A and B are shown apart, each in its own frame.
Chain A
Amino acid sequence: MSPLSLSTQGLEIIAAILAAPLFVGWVNQCRAWLQNRSAPSVLQPYRGIRKLFHKDAVLAERASALFRITPYMVFGAMVLAAAIIPSMGTRLPLTIAADSIALVGLLATARMFMSLAAMDVGTAFGTLGARREMMVGFLAEPALLMVIFVAALISQTTSLAAIAEHLSGQTLALYPSLAFTAVAFTLVLLAENARIPVDNPATHLELTMIHEAMLLEYSARHLALMEWAAALKLFNYVCIGIALFVPWGVATESQGPVGLLISVPVLGLKLLGAGAGLALIETVSAKLRVFRAPELMATAFLFAVLGLLVHLLLGA
Protein backbone atom coordinates (compact mmCIF):
# COMPACT_ATOMS: atom_id res chain seq x y z
CA MET A 1 0.00 0.00 0.00
CA SER A 2 1.81 3.06 -1.20
CA PRO A 3 1.18 6.52 0.23
CA LEU A 4 -0.17 7.50 -3.18
CA SER A 5 -2.91 4.89 -3.20
CA LEU A 6 -3.79 5.76 0.39
CA SER A 7 -4.07 9.43 -0.44
CA THR A 8 -6.13 8.62 -3.55
CA GLN A 9 -8.48 6.63 -1.38
CA GLY A 10 -8.79 9.39 1.22
CA LEU A 11 -9.23 12.07 -1.40
CA GLU A 12 -11.96 10.08 -3.13
CA ILE A 13 -13.99 9.57 0.03
CA ILE A 14 -13.70 13.17 1.16
CA ALA A 15 -14.43 14.50 -2.33
CA ALA A 16 -17.50 12.30 -2.65
CA ILE A 17 -18.90 13.38 0.72
CA LEU A 18 -18.25 17.05 0.09
CA ALA A 19 -19.11 17.22 -3.61
CA ALA A 20 -22.31 15.15 -3.59
CA PRO A 21 -24.63 18.01 -2.48
CA LEU A 22 -22.85 20.29 -4.94
CA PHE A 23 -23.64 17.86 -7.75
CA VAL A 24 -27.30 17.82 -6.74
CA GLY A 25 -27.23 21.62 -6.69
CA TRP A 26 -25.73 21.65 -10.17
CA VAL A 27 -28.43 19.31 -11.52
CA ASN A 28 -31.12 21.48 -9.93
CA GLN A 29 -29.59 24.59 -11.42
CA CYS A 30 -29.43 23.06 -14.90
CA ARG A 31 -33.02 21.95 -14.59
CA ALA A 32 -34.12 25.43 -13.55
CA TRP A 33 -32.30 26.94 -16.53
CA LEU A 34 -33.87 24.48 -18.94
CA GLN A 35 -37.31 25.19 -17.54
CA ASN A 36 -36.90 28.98 -17.69
CA ARG A 37 -37.03 29.36 -13.93
CA SER A 38 -34.56 31.47 -12.01
CA ALA A 39 -32.12 28.95 -10.64
CA PRO A 40 -31.35 28.44 -6.94
CA SER A 41 -27.70 28.71 -5.98
CA VAL A 42 -25.63 25.57 -6.45
CA LEU A 43 -24.89 25.78 -2.73
CA GLN A 44 -28.56 25.44 -1.80
CA PRO A 45 -28.33 21.74 -0.80
CA TYR A 46 -25.52 22.61 1.69
CA ARG A 47 -27.69 25.30 3.24
CA GLY A 48 -30.56 22.85 3.58
CA ILE A 49 -28.36 20.27 5.26
CA ARG A 50 -26.80 22.89 7.58
CA LYS A 51 -30.21 24.16 8.58
CA LEU A 52 -31.42 20.66 9.37
CA PHE A 53 -28.37 19.90 11.52
CA HIS A 54 -29.17 22.91 13.70
CA LYS A 55 -32.69 21.77 14.50
CA ASP A 56 -33.88 19.51 17.29
CA ALA A 57 -34.90 16.04 16.20
CA VAL A 58 -38.44 14.85 16.73
CA LEU A 59 -39.08 11.13 16.80
CA ALA A 60 -42.37 9.29 16.52
CA GLU A 61 -43.47 7.80 19.87
CA ARG A 62 -43.29 4.20 18.74
CA ALA A 63 -40.12 4.56 16.70
CA SER A 64 -37.71 1.69 17.41
CA ALA A 65 -33.95 1.77 17.45
CA LEU A 66 -33.99 0.72 13.79
CA PHE A 67 -35.62 3.99 12.87
CA ARG A 68 -32.89 5.92 14.64
CA ILE A 69 -29.88 4.03 13.33
CA THR A 70 -31.10 3.87 9.72
CA PRO A 71 -29.80 7.34 8.71
CA TYR A 72 -26.34 6.41 9.94
CA MET A 73 -26.47 3.00 8.27
CA VAL A 74 -27.60 4.44 4.95
CA PHE A 75 -25.07 7.24 5.05
CA GLY A 76 -22.33 4.78 6.03
CA ALA A 77 -23.23 2.40 3.21
CA MET A 78 -23.07 5.25 0.71
CA VAL A 79 -19.69 6.43 1.98
CA LEU A 80 -18.36 2.88 1.76
CA ALA A 81 -19.73 2.59 -1.79
CA ALA A 82 -17.99 5.85 -2.66
CA ALA A 83 -14.75 4.34 -1.38
CA ILE A 84 -14.99 1.36 -3.74
CA ILE A 85 -15.89 3.27 -6.89
CA PRO A 86 -12.80 4.35 -8.85
CA SER A 87 -13.79 7.92 -9.57
CA MET A 88 -10.29 9.40 -9.51
CA GLY A 89 -7.74 6.61 -9.32
CA THR A 90 -7.89 2.87 -9.88
CA ARG A 91 -5.40 1.88 -7.21
CA LEU A 92 -7.61 1.93 -4.15
CA PRO A 93 -6.67 -0.11 -1.06
CA LEU A 94 -10.34 -0.74 -0.28
CA THR A 95 -11.25 -2.31 -3.65
CA ILE A 96 -9.78 -5.60 -2.48
CA ALA A 97 -12.58 -5.70 0.08
CA ALA A 98 -15.47 -5.59 -2.34
CA ASP A 99 -15.99 -6.05 -6.06
CA SER A 100 -18.80 -4.58 -8.14
CA ILE A 101 -21.28 -7.31 -7.16
CA ALA A 102 -20.68 -6.55 -3.49
CA LEU A 103 -21.21 -2.90 -4.40
CA VAL A 104 -24.69 -3.72 -5.71
CA GLY A 105 -25.29 -5.59 -2.47
CA LEU A 106 -24.17 -2.57 -0.48
CA LEU A 107 -26.65 -0.37 -2.30
CA ALA A 108 -29.34 -2.99 -1.68
CA THR A 109 -28.52 -2.98 2.04
CA ALA A 110 -29.08 0.74 2.20
CA ARG A 111 -32.38 0.35 0.40
CA MET A 112 -33.49 -2.40 2.75
CA PHE A 113 -32.73 -0.33 5.85
CA MET A 114 -34.57 2.64 4.40
CA SER A 115 -37.66 0.62 3.57
CA LEU A 116 -37.72 -1.08 6.97
CA ALA A 117 -37.36 2.26 8.74
CA ALA A 118 -40.17 3.72 6.66
CA MET A 119 -42.44 0.85 7.70
CA ASP A 120 -41.23 1.00 11.30
CA VAL A 121 -43.31 3.97 12.39
CA GLY A 122 -46.41 2.51 10.83
CA THR A 123 -47.73 5.49 8.89
CA ALA A 124 -49.55 4.73 5.70
CA PHE A 125 -47.36 6.90 3.51
CA GLY A 126 -44.15 5.40 4.80
CA THR A 127 -45.36 1.88 4.07
CA LEU A 128 -46.57 2.93 0.66
CA GLY A 129 -43.24 4.52 -0.20
CA ALA A 130 -41.33 1.52 1.09
CA ARG A 131 -43.35 -0.89 -1.01
CA ARG A 132 -42.90 1.17 -4.13
CA GLU A 133 -39.20 1.52 -3.45
CA MET A 134 -38.85 -2.23 -3.12
CA MET A 135 -40.85 -2.77 -6.32
CA VAL A 136 -38.62 -0.46 -8.32
CA GLY A 137 -35.52 -1.78 -6.57
CA PHE A 138 -36.05 -5.45 -7.22
CA LEU A 139 -36.64 -4.75 -10.89
CA ALA A 140 -33.69 -2.39 -11.25
CA GLU A 141 -31.19 -4.63 -9.50
CA PRO A 142 -31.00 -7.44 -12.09
CA ALA A 143 -30.61 -4.82 -14.81
CA LEU A 144 -27.75 -3.20 -12.90
CA LEU A 145 -26.10 -6.58 -12.35
CA MET A 146 -26.39 -7.40 -16.07
CA VAL A 147 -24.78 -4.06 -16.93
CA ILE A 148 -21.89 -4.89 -14.64
CA PHE A 149 -21.60 -8.42 -16.03
CA VAL A 150 -21.12 -7.11 -19.57
CA ALA A 151 -18.31 -4.81 -18.47
CA ALA A 152 -16.90 -7.66 -16.39
CA LEU A 153 -16.96 -10.02 -19.38
CA ILE A 154 -15.12 -7.49 -21.51
CA SER A 155 -12.37 -6.93 -18.98
CA GLN A 156 -12.40 -10.41 -17.39
CA THR A 157 -12.77 -9.16 -13.82
CA THR A 158 -15.57 -8.08 -11.52
CA SER A 159 -13.50 -5.53 -9.64
CA LEU A 160 -14.77 -2.12 -10.63
CA ALA A 161 -11.33 -0.53 -10.39
CA ALA A 162 -9.81 -3.17 -12.65
CA ILE A 163 -12.66 -2.77 -15.14
CA ALA A 164 -12.11 0.98 -15.30
CA GLU A 165 -8.36 0.49 -15.68
CA HIS A 166 -8.79 -2.07 -18.46
CA LEU A 167 -11.31 0.04 -20.39
CA SER A 168 -9.36 3.27 -20.04
CA GLY A 169 -6.10 1.67 -21.15
CA GLN A 170 -7.41 0.34 -24.45
CA THR A 171 -6.80 1.53 -27.95
CA LEU A 172 -9.84 2.78 -29.81
CA ALA A 173 -12.42 0.04 -30.08
CA LEU A 174 -16.15 0.22 -30.65
CA TYR A 175 -18.22 -1.68 -28.15
CA PRO A 176 -21.86 -1.92 -29.27
CA SER A 177 -22.48 -3.99 -26.16
CA LEU A 178 -21.31 -1.14 -23.92
CA ALA A 179 -23.58 1.27 -25.81
CA PHE A 180 -26.55 -0.97 -25.04
CA THR A 181 -25.60 -1.27 -21.40
CA ALA A 182 -25.05 2.48 -21.14
CA VAL A 183 -28.70 3.01 -22.04
CA ALA A 184 -29.73 0.35 -19.53
CA PHE A 185 -27.57 1.94 -16.85
CA THR A 186 -29.08 5.37 -17.50
CA LEU A 187 -32.55 3.96 -16.97
CA VAL A 188 -31.46 2.21 -13.77
CA LEU A 189 -29.83 5.41 -12.54
CA LEU A 190 -33.03 7.37 -13.08
CA ALA A 191 -35.14 4.76 -11.31
CA GLU A 192 -32.82 4.14 -8.38
CA ASN A 193 -32.28 7.79 -7.62
CA ALA A 194 -35.94 8.74 -7.79
CA ARG A 195 -35.45 10.96 -10.82
CA ILE A 196 -38.21 12.04 -13.12
CA PRO A 197 -39.59 9.27 -15.30
CA VAL A 198 -40.04 7.16 -12.17
CA ASP A 199 -40.32 9.59 -9.29
CA ASN A 200 -40.19 13.35 -9.00
CA PRO A 201 -37.50 14.51 -6.55
CA ALA A 202 -39.12 17.92 -6.19
CA THR A 203 -42.66 16.86 -5.36
CA HIS A 204 -44.39 16.41 -2.07
CA LEU A 205 -47.58 15.20 -3.67
CA GLU A 206 -48.17 12.13 -1.57
CA LEU A 207 -49.88 9.89 -4.07
CA THR A 208 -47.09 9.87 -6.59
CA MET A 209 -43.96 10.01 -4.52
CA ILE A 210 -41.66 7.12 -3.73
CA HIS A 211 -38.46 8.32 -2.16
CA GLU A 212 -39.87 11.31 -0.31
CA ALA A 213 -42.67 9.19 1.16
CA MET A 214 -40.10 7.17 3.07
CA LEU A 215 -38.52 10.25 4.60
CA LEU A 216 -41.74 11.85 5.84
CA GLU A 217 -41.21 10.88 9.47
CA TYR A 218 -37.61 12.02 9.64
CA SER A 219 -36.58 15.41 10.95
CA ALA A 220 -33.49 17.43 11.78
CA ARG A 221 -30.15 15.61 11.76
CA HIS A 222 -31.71 12.32 10.67
CA LEU A 223 -33.36 13.99 7.69
CA ALA A 224 -30.15 15.82 6.89
CA LEU A 225 -28.22 12.56 6.84
CA MET A 226 -30.87 10.90 4.68
CA GLU A 227 -30.82 13.74 2.18
CA TRP A 228 -27.05 13.78 2.16
CA ALA A 229 -27.07 10.02 1.62
CA ALA A 230 -29.50 10.45 -1.30
CA ALA A 231 -27.14 13.01 -2.84
CA LEU A 232 -24.23 10.63 -2.27
CA LYS A 233 -26.18 7.82 -3.91
CA LEU A 234 -26.74 9.91 -7.02
CA PHE A 235 -23.08 10.91 -7.02
CA ASN A 236 -22.05 7.25 -6.65
CA TYR A 237 -24.26 6.09 -9.48
CA VAL A 238 -22.92 8.77 -11.79
CA CYS A 239 -19.38 7.79 -10.81
CA ILE A 240 -20.13 4.12 -11.55
CA GLY A 241 -21.41 5.19 -14.95
CA ILE A 242 -18.27 7.22 -15.56
CA ALA A 243 -16.06 4.32 -14.49
CA LEU A 244 -17.84 1.89 -16.81
CA PHE A 245 -18.50 3.97 -19.90
CA VAL A 246 -16.17 6.99 -19.99
CA PRO A 247 -13.21 5.96 -17.84
CA TRP A 248 -10.61 7.96 -19.78
CA GLY A 249 -8.57 10.26 -17.60
CA VAL A 250 -8.76 8.16 -14.46
CA ALA A 251 -5.41 7.84 -12.70
CA THR A 252 -3.83 4.41 -13.13
CA GLU A 253 -0.82 3.07 -11.28
CA SER A 254 1.73 3.83 -13.95
CA GLN A 255 0.89 7.50 -14.07
CA GLY A 256 1.90 8.34 -10.51
CA PRO A 257 0.94 11.55 -8.72
CA VAL A 258 0.56 13.49 -11.98
CA GLY A 259 -2.26 11.18 -13.02
CA LEU A 260 -4.10 11.94 -9.81
CA LEU A 261 -3.64 15.68 -10.33
CA ILE A 262 -5.06 15.41 -13.84
CA SER A 263 -7.91 13.09 -12.88
CA VAL A 264 -9.50 15.53 -10.44
CA PRO A 265 -10.38 18.27 -12.99
CA VAL A 266 -11.27 15.57 -15.55
CA LEU A 267 -13.73 14.07 -13.09
CA GLY A 268 -15.14 17.53 -12.43
CA LEU A 269 -15.73 18.09 -16.14
CA LYS A 270 -17.37 14.69 -16.56
CA LEU A 271 -19.65 15.40 -13.59
CA LEU A 272 -20.62 18.77 -15.06
CA GLY A 273 -21.54 17.04 -18.31
CA ALA A 274 -23.38 14.22 -16.57
CA GLY A 275 -25.38 16.67 -14.43
CA ALA A 276 -26.40 18.69 -17.47
CA GLY A 277 -27.39 15.50 -19.29
CA LEU A 278 -29.42 14.31 -16.32
CA ALA A 279 -31.23 17.64 -16.13
CA LEU A 280 -31.95 17.42 -19.86
CA ILE A 281 -33.44 13.92 -19.56
CA GLU A 282 -35.56 15.04 -16.65
CA THR A 283 -36.81 18.08 -18.50
CA VAL A 284 -37.80 16.36 -21.73
CA SER A 285 -39.51 13.35 -20.16
CA ALA A 286 -42.76 13.21 -18.26
CA LYS A 287 -43.26 11.27 -15.07
CA LEU A 288 -44.60 7.78 -15.65
CA ARG A 289 -47.47 6.30 -13.73
CA VAL A 290 -46.14 4.12 -10.94
CA PHE A 291 -47.42 1.00 -12.61
CA ARG A 292 -45.58 1.84 -15.81
CA ALA A 293 -42.28 1.83 -13.92
CA PRO A 294 -41.90 -1.98 -14.24
CA GLU A 295 -42.12 -1.53 -18.01
CA LEU A 296 -39.26 0.95 -17.89
CA MET A 297 -37.21 -1.45 -15.80
CA ALA A 298 -38.06 -4.33 -18.15
CA THR A 299 -36.68 -2.16 -20.95
CA ALA A 300 -33.53 -1.55 -18.95
CA PHE A 301 -33.14 -5.28 -18.35
CA LEU A 302 -33.75 -5.92 -22.03
CA PHE A 303 -31.03 -3.48 -23.04
CA ALA A 304 -28.59 -4.99 -20.59
CA VAL A 305 -29.26 -8.56 -21.75
CA LEU A 306 -29.07 -7.46 -25.39
CA GLY A 307 -25.69 -5.95 -24.58
CA LEU A 308 -24.61 -9.26 -23.08
CA LEU A 309 -25.83 -11.24 -26.11
CA VAL A 310 -24.26 -8.85 -28.58
CA HIS A 311 -21.01 -9.12 -26.67
CA LEU A 312 -21.13 -12.91 -26.83
CA LEU A 313 -21.93 -12.86 -30.55
CA LEU A 314 -19.62 -10.14 -31.81
CA GLY A 315 -16.96 -10.39 -29.14
CA ALA A 316 -17.13 -6.64 -28.73
Chain B
Amino acid sequence: MVHIPLLLQLVNACAAGLLLLSFAMLSQRRVVTLVYLLATQGALLCLATFLLAWRTNQHHLYISAALTLSLKVLFLPWLLHRLIRRLGVYWDTEPLLNSSVTMLLGLLIVVFAFGLAQPIAALSSTAARSTIGIAIAVILLAFMMMITRRKAMSQVIGFLSMENGLFFGAMSATYGMPLVVELGVALDVLVAMLVLGVFFFQIREQFDSLDLHHLESLKEKP
Protein backbone atom coordinates (compact mmCIF):
# COMPACT_ATOMS: atom_id res chain seq x y z
CA MET B 1 0.00 0.00 0.00
CA VAL B 2 1.20 3.50 -0.84
CA HIS B 3 1.74 5.52 2.27
CA ILE B 4 -0.77 8.38 2.55
CA PRO B 5 -0.16 11.27 4.96
CA LEU B 6 -2.40 11.38 7.98
CA LEU B 7 -4.24 14.57 6.98
CA LEU B 8 -5.23 13.08 3.66
CA GLN B 9 -6.28 9.90 5.42
CA LEU B 10 -8.57 12.06 7.50
CA VAL B 11 -9.97 13.67 4.34
CA ASN B 12 -10.56 10.19 2.95
CA ALA B 13 -12.32 9.18 6.14
CA CYS B 14 -14.53 12.27 5.86
CA ALA B 15 -15.33 11.30 2.28
CA ALA B 16 -16.32 7.81 3.40
CA GLY B 17 -18.49 9.40 6.08
CA LEU B 18 -20.21 11.56 3.45
CA LEU B 19 -21.03 8.46 1.44
CA LEU B 20 -22.34 6.71 4.55
CA LEU B 21 -24.56 9.67 5.40
CA SER B 22 -25.94 9.66 1.86
CA PHE B 23 -27.04 6.08 2.37
CA ALA B 24 -28.48 6.91 5.76
CA MET B 25 -30.52 9.69 4.16
CA LEU B 26 -31.65 7.35 1.43
CA SER B 27 -33.13 4.96 3.97
CA GLN B 28 -34.44 7.49 6.51
CA ARG B 29 -38.12 8.37 6.49
CA ARG B 30 -38.35 10.77 9.42
CA VAL B 31 -37.98 14.27 8.07
CA VAL B 32 -36.51 15.69 11.28
CA THR B 33 -33.78 13.03 11.27
CA LEU B 34 -33.15 13.79 7.60
CA VAL B 35 -32.40 17.39 8.50
CA TYR B 36 -29.99 16.27 11.22
CA LEU B 37 -28.26 13.96 8.75
CA LEU B 38 -28.00 16.82 6.28
CA ALA B 39 -26.44 19.05 8.93
CA THR B 40 -23.98 16.29 9.82
CA GLN B 41 -23.09 15.90 6.16
CA GLY B 42 -22.46 19.64 5.98
CA ALA B 43 -20.27 19.45 9.08
CA LEU B 44 -18.19 16.62 7.59
CA LEU B 45 -17.88 18.58 4.36
CA CYS B 46 -16.71 21.60 6.32
CA LEU B 47 -14.14 19.48 8.16
CA ALA B 48 -12.87 17.95 4.91
CA THR B 49 -12.58 21.40 3.30
CA PHE B 50 -10.73 22.73 6.30
CA LEU B 51 -8.30 19.80 6.37
CA LEU B 52 -7.64 20.09 2.66
CA ALA B 53 -7.08 23.85 3.00
CA TRP B 54 -4.59 23.18 5.77
CA ARG B 55 -2.82 20.51 3.79
CA THR B 56 -2.54 22.44 0.53
CA ASN B 57 -2.34 26.06 1.77
CA GLN B 58 -5.21 27.12 -0.46
CA HIS B 59 -6.50 30.12 1.46
CA HIS B 60 -9.80 30.50 -0.34
CA LEU B 61 -10.74 27.01 0.88
CA TYR B 62 -10.82 28.38 4.44
CA ILE B 63 -13.49 30.82 3.29
CA SER B 64 -15.41 27.98 1.65
CA ALA B 65 -15.21 26.02 4.89
CA ALA B 66 -16.53 28.97 6.86
CA LEU B 67 -19.29 29.44 4.30
CA THR B 68 -20.24 25.76 4.54
CA LEU B 69 -20.29 25.93 8.31
CA SER B 70 -22.49 28.97 8.55
CA LEU B 71 -24.83 28.10 5.71
CA LYS B 72 -25.14 24.33 5.55
CA VAL B 73 -24.53 23.38 9.16
CA LEU B 74 -26.27 26.19 10.97
CA PHE B 75 -28.59 28.33 8.88
CA LEU B 76 -30.28 25.94 6.44
CA PRO B 77 -31.00 23.20 9.00
CA TRP B 78 -32.43 25.85 11.31
CA LEU B 79 -34.63 27.11 8.47
CA LEU B 80 -35.72 23.57 7.61
CA HIS B 81 -36.56 22.80 11.24
CA ARG B 82 -38.64 25.93 11.40
CA LEU B 83 -40.45 24.98 8.21
CA ILE B 84 -41.09 21.46 9.50
CA ARG B 85 -42.54 22.80 12.72
CA ARG B 86 -44.78 25.27 10.98
CA LEU B 87 -45.94 22.88 8.29
CA GLY B 88 -46.29 19.96 10.70
CA VAL B 89 -44.64 17.43 8.35
CA TYR B 90 -42.68 14.93 10.41
CA TRP B 91 -42.83 11.79 8.30
CA ASP B 92 -42.45 11.07 4.65
CA THR B 93 -44.86 8.56 3.20
CA GLU B 94 -43.55 5.18 2.15
CA PRO B 95 -41.11 5.88 -0.70
CA LEU B 96 -41.74 4.51 -4.17
CA LEU B 97 -39.32 1.61 -3.64
CA ASN B 98 -38.86 -0.36 -0.44
CA SER B 99 -35.70 0.26 1.47
CA SER B 100 -33.77 -2.93 0.61
CA VAL B 101 -34.29 -2.37 -3.11
CA THR B 102 -33.30 1.28 -2.74
CA MET B 103 -30.13 0.24 -0.91
CA LEU B 104 -29.12 -2.31 -3.54
CA LEU B 105 -29.81 0.19 -6.34
CA GLY B 106 -27.73 2.69 -4.37
CA LEU B 107 -24.88 0.18 -4.35
CA LEU B 108 -25.08 -0.15 -8.14
CA ILE B 109 -25.00 3.64 -8.39
CA VAL B 110 -21.89 3.74 -6.24
CA VAL B 111 -20.18 1.17 -8.46
CA PHE B 112 -21.17 3.21 -11.53
CA ALA B 113 -19.94 6.45 -9.97
CA PHE B 114 -16.60 4.92 -8.98
CA GLY B 115 -16.14 3.62 -12.51
CA LEU B 116 -17.04 7.03 -13.90
CA ALA B 117 -14.58 8.80 -11.66
CA GLN B 118 -11.56 6.71 -12.56
CA PRO B 119 -10.55 8.56 -15.79
CA ILE B 120 -11.24 11.92 -14.13
CA ALA B 121 -9.08 11.00 -11.17
CA ALA B 122 -6.33 9.89 -13.52
CA LEU B 123 -6.26 13.32 -15.17
CA SER B 124 -6.49 15.30 -11.96
CA SER B 125 -3.42 16.14 -9.95
CA THR B 126 -4.93 17.29 -6.66
CA ALA B 127 -4.12 15.68 -3.37
CA ALA B 128 -7.64 14.38 -2.80
CA ARG B 129 -8.33 13.08 -6.30
CA SER B 130 -9.22 9.62 -5.14
CA THR B 131 -12.36 10.99 -3.49
CA ILE B 132 -13.88 12.26 -6.77
CA GLY B 133 -15.72 8.95 -7.09
CA ILE B 134 -17.30 9.45 -3.71
CA ALA B 135 -18.41 12.96 -4.65
CA ILE B 136 -20.09 11.68 -7.81
CA ALA B 137 -21.71 8.89 -5.81
CA VAL B 138 -23.07 11.41 -3.29
CA ILE B 139 -24.54 13.50 -6.13
CA LEU B 140 -26.19 10.50 -7.79
CA LEU B 141 -27.50 9.10 -4.50
CA ALA B 142 -29.08 12.47 -3.67
CA PHE B 143 -30.56 12.45 -7.15
CA MET B 144 -32.02 9.04 -6.49
CA MET B 145 -33.39 10.22 -3.17
CA MET B 146 -35.19 13.05 -4.97
CA ILE B 147 -36.63 10.59 -7.46
CA THR B 148 -37.90 8.05 -4.95
CA ARG B 149 -39.51 10.47 -2.49
CA ARG B 150 -42.99 11.89 -2.73
CA LYS B 151 -43.01 14.70 -0.22
CA ALA B 152 -41.64 18.09 -1.21
CA MET B 153 -39.67 18.36 2.02
CA SER B 154 -37.52 15.28 1.47
CA GLN B 155 -36.98 16.25 -2.16
CA VAL B 156 -35.60 19.60 -1.08
CA ILE B 157 -33.33 17.87 1.42
CA GLY B 158 -32.16 15.63 -1.43
CA PHE B 159 -31.46 18.76 -3.47
CA LEU B 160 -29.34 20.25 -0.68
CA SER B 161 -27.46 16.98 -0.27
CA MET B 162 -26.76 17.03 -4.01
CA GLU B 163 -25.28 20.49 -3.61
CA ASN B 164 -23.04 19.09 -0.87
CA GLY B 165 -21.85 16.42 -3.30
CA LEU B 166 -21.17 18.96 -6.05
CA PHE B 167 -19.19 21.12 -3.68
CA PHE B 168 -17.14 18.15 -2.52
CA GLY B 169 -16.57 17.06 -6.12
CA ALA B 170 -15.28 20.50 -7.08
CA MET B 171 -13.05 20.49 -4.03
CA SER B 172 -11.48 17.11 -4.69
CA ALA B 173 -11.06 17.63 -8.44
CA THR B 174 -9.76 21.21 -8.56
CA TYR B 175 -9.50 22.51 -4.97
CA GLY B 176 -12.88 24.18 -5.21
CA MET B 177 -14.43 26.54 -7.69
CA PRO B 178 -13.31 30.17 -7.94
CA LEU B 179 -14.52 32.10 -4.94
CA VAL B 180 -16.96 34.22 -6.96
CA VAL B 181 -18.67 31.10 -8.30
CA GLU B 182 -18.76 29.54 -4.86
CA LEU B 183 -20.34 32.62 -3.32
CA GLY B 184 -22.82 32.70 -6.19
CA VAL B 185 -23.79 29.05 -5.66
CA ALA B 186 -24.14 29.58 -1.94
CA LEU B 187 -26.40 32.54 -2.54
CA ASP B 188 -28.40 30.56 -5.10
CA VAL B 189 -28.97 27.73 -2.66
CA LEU B 190 -29.99 30.19 0.02
CA VAL B 191 -32.47 31.98 -2.24
CA ALA B 192 -33.77 28.69 -3.63
CA MET B 193 -34.36 27.52 -0.09
CA LEU B 194 -36.27 30.65 0.83
CA VAL B 195 -38.36 30.53 -2.35
CA LEU B 196 -39.08 26.83 -1.84
CA GLY B 197 -40.14 27.61 1.72
CA VAL B 198 -42.76 29.97 0.34
CA PHE B 199 -43.67 27.35 -2.26
CA PHE B 200 -44.33 24.75 0.42
CA PHE B 201 -47.00 26.91 1.94
CA GLN B 202 -48.55 27.53 -1.48
CA ILE B 203 -48.59 23.84 -2.34
CA ARG B 204 -50.13 22.96 0.96
CA GLU B 205 -52.77 25.62 0.61
CA GLN B 206 -53.73 24.25 -2.80
CA PHE B 207 -53.73 20.53 -2.05
CA ASP B 208 -53.82 20.25 1.75
CA SER B 209 -50.67 18.14 1.56
CA LEU B 210 -47.04 18.32 0.54
CA ASP B 211 -47.32 15.21 -1.62
CA LEU B 212 -45.97 16.22 -5.02
CA HIS B 213 -47.99 13.43 -6.53
CA HIS B 214 -50.80 15.98 -6.83
CA LEU B 215 -48.77 18.20 -9.11
CA GLU B 216 -48.50 15.52 -11.76
CA SER B 217 -51.95 15.92 -13.26
CA LEU B 218 -52.30 18.97 -15.46
CA LYS B 219 -55.83 19.92 -14.62
CA GLU B 220 -58.39 19.37 -11.93
CA LYS B 221 -60.03 15.98 -12.01
CA PRO B 222 -63.73 16.26 -12.88
Chain A residues with CB under 8 Å of chain B are 154, 172-174, 176-177, 179-180, 294-295, 298-299, 302, 305-306, 309-310, 312-316
Contact = CB atoms under 8 A, between A and B. Distances in A.
Contacts of A302: 23, 103-104, 106-107
18 contacts: A154-B1, A172-B6, A174-B13, A176-B13, A177-B16, A180-B20, A299-B27, A302-B104, A302-B107, A306-B107, A309-B107, A310-B134, A313-B117, A313-B130, A313-B133, A313-B134, A315-B1, A316-B12
B9 interface: yes
A176 B106 CA distance: 19
B4 interface: yes
A315 B8 CA distance: 12
Closest 6 CB pairs of A and B: A176-B16, A298-B100, A174-B9, A314-B12, A302-B103, A176-B13
Interface in B1-43: 1-2, 4, 6, 9-10, 12-13, 15-17, 19-20, 23, 27
Contacts of A315: 1-2, 4, 130
Given A174-B12, A314-B130, A306 B100 contact: no
A154 B1 CA distance: 9
A306 B23 contact: yes
A147 to B, nearest CB: 15
B198 interface: no
Most buried by B among A154, A294, A298: A298
Given A173-B9, A298-B99, 20 more contacts: A173-B4, A174-B10, A176-B13, A176-B15, A176-B16, A179-B13, A179-B16, A295-B100, A298-B103, A306-B19, A309-B114, A310-B19, A313-B131, A313-B133, A314-B130, A314-B131, A315-B1, A315-B4, A316-B1, A316-B9
Q: Which of A295, A299, A313, A316 has the most CB of B within 10 A?
A: A313
Contacts of A295: 99-100
Contacts of B134: 310, 313
B15 A314 contact: yes
B122 to A, nearest CB: 13
A129 to B, nearest CB: 24
B103 A309 contact: no
Given A173-B9, A302-B23, A313 B114 contact: yes
B222 to A, nearest CB: 41
A7 to B, nearest CB: 34
A16 to B, nearest CB: 32
Contacts of A174: 6, 9-10, 12-13
- Chain B interface size, as a band, is 20 to 34
B10 A306 contact: no
A298 B104 CA distance: 8
Q: Is the interface of A mostly helix, strand, loop or mixed?
A: helix
A179 B2 CA distance: 20
A312 B131 contact: no
Contacts of B147: none
A294 B23 contact: no
A293 to B, nearest CB: 11
A306 B110 contact: yes
Interface in B128-162: 130-131, 133-134
A314 B106 CA distance: 19
Contacts of A316: 1, 4, 9, 12
A289 to B, nearest CB: 14
B97 interface: no
A294 B12 contact: no
Nearest to B103: A302
A291 to B, nearest CB: 11
Interface string B195-206: 000000000000
A179 B10 CA distance: 13
Contacts of A177: 16
Contacts of B13: 174, 176, 179
Nearest to A316: B12
A146 to B, nearest CB: 11
A127 B12 CA distance: 48
B111 interface: yes
A256 B29 CA distance: 54
Contact of B16 (A172, A298, A305, A310): A310
B114 A176 contact: no
A306 B20 contact: yes
A302 B105 CA distance: 10
B219 to A, nearest CB: 40
B107 to A, nearest CB: 6
A179 B17 CA distance: 10
Contacts of B114: 309, 312-313
